[in-house]
Amino acid sequence: MANYFNTLPLREKLNQLGVAEFMDRTEFADGVNALKGKKIVVVGCGAQGLNQGLNLRDSGLDVSYTLRKEAIEQKRDSWKNATDNNFKVGTYEELIPNADLVINLTPDKQHTSVIKAIMPLMKQGATLSYSHGFNIVEEGMEIRKDLTVIMVAPKCPGSEVRAEYLRGFGVPTLIAVHPENDPQGKGLVEAKAYCVGTGGHKAGVLRSSFVAEVKSDLMGEQTILCGLLQTGSILSFDKMVEKGIDPGYASKLVQYGVEVITEALKQGGITAMMDRLSNVAKIKAFEVADELKTIMRPLFQKHQDDIMSGEFSRVMMEDWANNDKNLLTWRAETGETAFEKTPAGDVKIGDQEYFDNALFMVAYIKAGVELAFETMVEAGIKPESAYYESLHETPLIANTIARKKLFEMNRVISDTAEYGCYLFDHACKPLLANFMKTVDTDIIGKNYNDGKDGAVDNKTLIAVNDAIRTHPVEKVGSVLRKAMTAMKTIKTV
Ligand SMILES: NC(=O)C1=CN([C@@H]2O[C@H](COP(=O)(O)OP(=O)(O)OC[C@H]3O[C@@H](n4cnc5c(N)ncnc54)[C@H](OP(=O)(O)O)[C@@H]3O)[C@@H](O)[C@H]2O)C=CC1
Ligand SMILES: CC(=O)[C@](C)(O)C(=O)O
Ligand SMILES: [Mg+2]
Ligand SMILES: [Mg+2]
């Protein structure tokens, strides 16, 4: 098998990379009907598998799980996830032959072996679905020509796919039909019904492509969503402790601050997040973010370049072949960081304090969201896709950090995302080393407004506000958020 993207002529590369059409809510008027009464069999019951299956069943669909034999025999967590939630569970041989829709939600590294095992069992004309394009695009997996191949990719960790559904909302989702596998022309209808079943149509859906999804998803997760949130959390905590701030306070400010700060981002974009700062703090955060963007831009571009060329996938698949040696080593190292090992202190931190005392966090989040968006768009990814992947998903990842720090984030996201997160973190920390020497507690740990009279230069403030509001991510974001009429405010600490 060869990287599918790299086999395409440039014209077709750009064509498939550029598919990202926002779908009007009326396009989902038929709800789940196209899949009503159909046998839906999910392969794997992990972060996406369990949570998507719960949503699909609650939406009135017939869902069961097929697990590898050892998972059933050993009653592994996946078996417990499915049976504790009263789903029917069976082996591939028992369930795949009667399935109308097989949803592959196993880890990317297992896709080739899983597809080779289940494809011969799939009935003529059935449909195979993925939630990430890696196997098709990066590995070039070829699927039996009578089968329809679709993708329904939530731009969100599995846990939040369920949490937003239970709030009566959903998560932005990319749907796609593989151009090499749509023999009956039913792919889009089934992908739409599946998307409605997960609740994604309430948050916003892009008709995308396997190429556009994978090249944007890998970039978002490696940089702003997981990589920079990891690097920023660790650097913020270490700086506060180095400067004598109580470790318990520092731990709580970072663990919960990222959720409180990015909740403003989710509701009103970077503008709303920055507006939570005083004028004098906003100008400082703007300046810090600008400096961070200058330092980190080459790293963001390298990640996008390596994703586009297939170099990232090649390097990660070497680790797969080496039994995940690097992934497991880096996971253990992260668990040993002081931030991870210091419990959040039993100290009261008010909502506004998370902004006033963590201006540096606001700054790196602004820098990361804008950089990820800018880098994706300049690489040919459409603004709508880049928005969902950079800005909207950041608070959803932050929710996992608020629950149980980087451990929870790296547990819930895919192994693919986790691997890319560590690659970024290892490169970003040394890149920011000199900058961090200039950082003091005025921008992380203490109230930046202390001792200041709040006066600012009018022209400077006007220019800063204008620059924030006119960034392209704000323009596309204000349009896409208007479609999120069912978005709920989450209760942060
Ligand atoms: N995690 C996330 O939030 C997101 C993930 N995705 C995509 O969703 C897909 C699933 O990812 P995710 O939910 O994170 O995966 P998880 O690692 O959470 O779950 C994987 C599931 O597959 C099973 N599994 C593992 N190895 C094998 C194997 N060799 N054969 C059969 N089953 C196996 C596991 O059960 P057991 O080991 O017990 O057999 C488990 O049930 C991936 O393509 C990912 O890129 C997309 C968006 C977000
Ligand atoms: C949660 C999600 O969208 C990620 C980060 O892309 C993933 O877990 O692969
Ligand atoms: Mg993703
Ligand atoms: Mg991903």
235 and 186 both lie in a single domain: no
Reported ipTM: 0.98
3-state SS, residue 29: coil
Number of structural domains the chain divides into: 2
Which among 469, 481, 470 has a CA at the least distance from the CA of 202? 481
Centre of ligand 3 to C-alpha 242, Å, is 34
65 and 201 both lie in a single domain: yes
217 labelled binding-site residue: yes
In the residue annotation, 132 being an active-site residue is answered as yes
Reported confidence tier of residue 1, pLDDT bands at 50, 70, 90: confident
Average pLDDT, the chain: 97
3-state SS, residue 369: helix
Ligand 1 pocket by Cβ (under 6 Å): 44-49, 67-68, 71, 76-78, 105-108, 110, 113-114, 131-132, 153-154, 157-158, 412-414, 416
> Is 80 exceeded by the pLDDT of residue 485?
no
Tell me if 67 is assigned to some domain.
yes
Percent of the chain with pLDDT over 70: 100
199 and 326 both lie in a single domain: no
Which residues are CB-contacts of 456 (< 8 A; sequence separation ≥ 6)? 279, 280, 283
Residue owning the nearest CA to atom 5 of ligand 2: 221
Give the mean model confidence (pLDDT) for residues 385-394: 96
Catalytic, out of 132, 201, 303, 471: 132
129 labelled binding-site residue: no
Which atom of ligand 2 has the smallest separation from the CA of 218? 6
Domain boundary among 175, 208, 241: 208
Reported confidence tier of residue 486, pLDDT bands at 50, 70, 90: confident
Residue owning the nearest CA to atom 24 of ligand 1: 106
CATH assignment of the domain containing 79: 3.40.50.720
> Is 80 exceeded by the pLDDT of residue 213?
yes
Tokens of 141: 């997996």
The per-residue DSSP string of 131-177 comes to SSSHHHHTS-----TTSEEEEEEESS-HHHHHHHHHTT----EEEEE
242 and 178 both lie in a single domain: no
193 and 224 both lie in a single domain: no
Tell me if 470 is assigned to some domain.
yes
- C-beta separation of 362 from 274 below 8 A: yes
418 and 274 both lie in a single domain: yes
126 and 247 both lie in a single domain: no
53 labelled binding-site residue: no
Tell me if 126 is assigned to some domain.
yes
Tell me if 493 is assigned to some domain.
no
Q: What is the pLDDT of residues 73-113, one digit of tens each?
A: 999 999 999 999 999 999 999 999 999 999 999 999 999 99
Q: What is the pLDDT of residues 408-451, one digit of tens each?
A: 999 999 999 999 999 999 999 999 999 999 999 999 999 999 99
78 labelled binding-site residue: yes
Which atom of ligand 2 has the smallest separation from the CA of 393? 3
Which residues are CB-contacts of 234 (< 8 A; sequence separation ≥ 6)? 337, 339, 406, 425, 429
Q: What pLDDT, on the 0 to 100 scale, is given for residue 484?
A: 83
Handedness of CA 130, 135, 140, 146 (dihedral sign): negative
Reported confidence tier of residue 487, pLDDT bands at 50, 70, 90: confident
Q: Are strands 148-154 and 89-90 parallel, antiparallel or unpaired?
A: unpaired
Ligand 2 pocket by Cβ (under 6 Å): 155-157, 217, 221, 225-226, 413-414, 416-417
Tell me if 492 is assigned to some domain.
no
Domain boundary among 208, 232, 251: 208
416 and 478 both lie in a single domain: yes
CATH assignment of the domain containing 349: 1.10.1040.10
> Is 80 exceeded by the pLDDT of residue 318?
yes
DSSP state of 346: S
Tell me if 422 is assigned to some domain.
yes
Centre of ligand 4 to C-alpha 148, Å, is 22
Residue owning the nearest CA to atom 1 of ligand 2: 157
Tokens of 244: 């004598």
Domain that holds residue 220: 212-482
> Is 80 exceeded by the pLDDT of residue 493?
no
Which atom of ligand 2 has the smallest separation from the CA of 153? 3
Domain boundary among 162, 179, 208: 208
154 and 216 both lie in a single domain: no
Which among 401, 489, 439, 90 has a CA at the least distance from the CA of 284? 439
297 labelled binding-site residue: no
Tell me if 487 is assigned to some domain.
no
Tell me if 442 is assigned to some domain.
yes
Which atom of ligand 2 has the smallest separation from the CA of 416? 9
168 and 256 both lie in a single domain: no
296 and 346 both lie in a single domain: yes
> Is 80 exceeded by the pLDDT of residue 53?
yes
Reported confidence tier of residue 64, pLDDT bands at 50, 70, 90: very high
Which among 56, 345, 285, 302 has a CA at the least distance from the CA of 193? 56
356 and 294 both lie in a single domain: yes
